[in-house]
Structure 1
Amino acid sequence: MNNKELPRFYNHDENFATGAQPSVEGIKLLKEKGFTAVVNISPVSTPNFLPGEGGLVEGLGMDYVHFPVDCSNLRDRHYKMFSAILDGLEGEKIFIHCGGNIKSSSLLHMYRVIEKKVDEKESLDELLKIQNPEQKWFDYFKRFGMAG
């Protein structure tokens, strides 16, 4: 499903997928594929930000959460709030995205390891299929007790 409508799409498991900014058609495709929630962690200043995304997602009957994360200034509260959002959507099929699937895949890696007890090496191997995280992400992982 990784195409222009759903760029850098990666299906992690039956409940979670991440990707870059979807197009309008990509959002419709998510609905067709059974997704029930979209979490957008891009700031509105992101070049490919889609104005009106929330209305489109909700108009299709999916839940929408916009939680902008500035990865140039990662704080502990970013992960804690991200985790709380995903906990609040427990049982949903969730698509998490940012501008390029860097932040979204990194934060989901943390969530799956810390909260869902997925093996850290297994999750990191998946993350490395998507991207090569900058050192700041490994430092951030360590702040939460992960090997980094």
Structure 2
Amino acid sequence: MLQSITRYLPVTDSLATAGQPTEAQLADVAAAGFEVVINLALHNDPRYSLADEAASVAALGMRYIHIPVQFSTPTLPDLKAFFDAMEQVGRRKVFIHCAHNKRVPVFVALHRIAKQGWSEAAALAAMRDAWQPDATWEQFIAQAIAGMPLSPR
């Protein structure tokens, strides 16, 4: 059951976000029709990662994209990799997660501003419904938005 995944949040019919799912929960993700799993967490902490998530996701017939974002030091290249991944995903149903669904709302909000025409205010309000970023992440958000070409404000 998807609602049992840590901080699961259905965003649209084709996008959901969450914290780290278990192996059994990944099967629920596949059963719900998701085609792609994007993981923004690291693989180095067994409390917040699976032994071989890429293999587990592939065995369930989904595509796996891993963009390891250091929680304490998110970077613009991380964000660009996420934008590239979202472009590759296209209109497929995508499940995006990290350890606690904190990195993900920020990256989704910035994608909405840069690539989907959302206003900064609307995208950041939706992000804050999911998570209130700390100072490090607020600085990252400001840096990312400042570098966007004429994004709607």
User: Fold conserved (TM > 0.5)?
Assistant: yes
Question: What amino acid sits opposite 1:2 in the alignment?
Answer: Q
Offset, 1:36: 0.5
Partner of 2:3: 2
Offset, 1:58: 0.9
Q: Which structure 2 residue ranges, 5 or more long, are not aligned?
A: 147-151
Residues 53-85 of structure 1: per-residue CA shift (max 9 Å, x gap): 111111111111111111212221111111111
Separation in 2, partners of 1:128, 1:75: 20
Residues 82-105 of structure 1: per-residue CA shift (max 9 Å, x gap): 111111111111111111001112
- Please say if residues 19 and 105 of structure 1, whose CA atoms lie closer than 8 Å, have aligned partners that are also in contact: no
Partner of 1:133: 133
Separation in 2, partners of 1:69, 1:145: 18
User: Helix, strand or coil: the match of 1:73?
Assistant: coil
Offset, 1:17: 1.3
Partner of 2:36: 37
Offset, 1:123: 2.3
Superposition CA RMSD, Å: 1.9
Residues 102-142 of structure 1: per-residue CA shift (max 9 Å, x gap): 11121111112211112332222222222111122222122
Partner of 2:61: 61
Q: TM-score under structure 2 normalisation? A: 0.86
Partner of 2:50: 50
User: Helix, strand or coil: the match of 1:65?
Assistant: strand
Q: TM-score under structure 1 normalisation? A: 0.89
Q: Which structure 1 residue ranges, 5 or more long, are not aligned?
A: none
User: Helix, strand or coil: the match of 1:83?
Assistant: helix
Partner of 1:20: 19
Separation in 2, partners of 1:76, 1:70: 12
User: Helix, strand or coil: the match of 1:72?
Assistant: coil
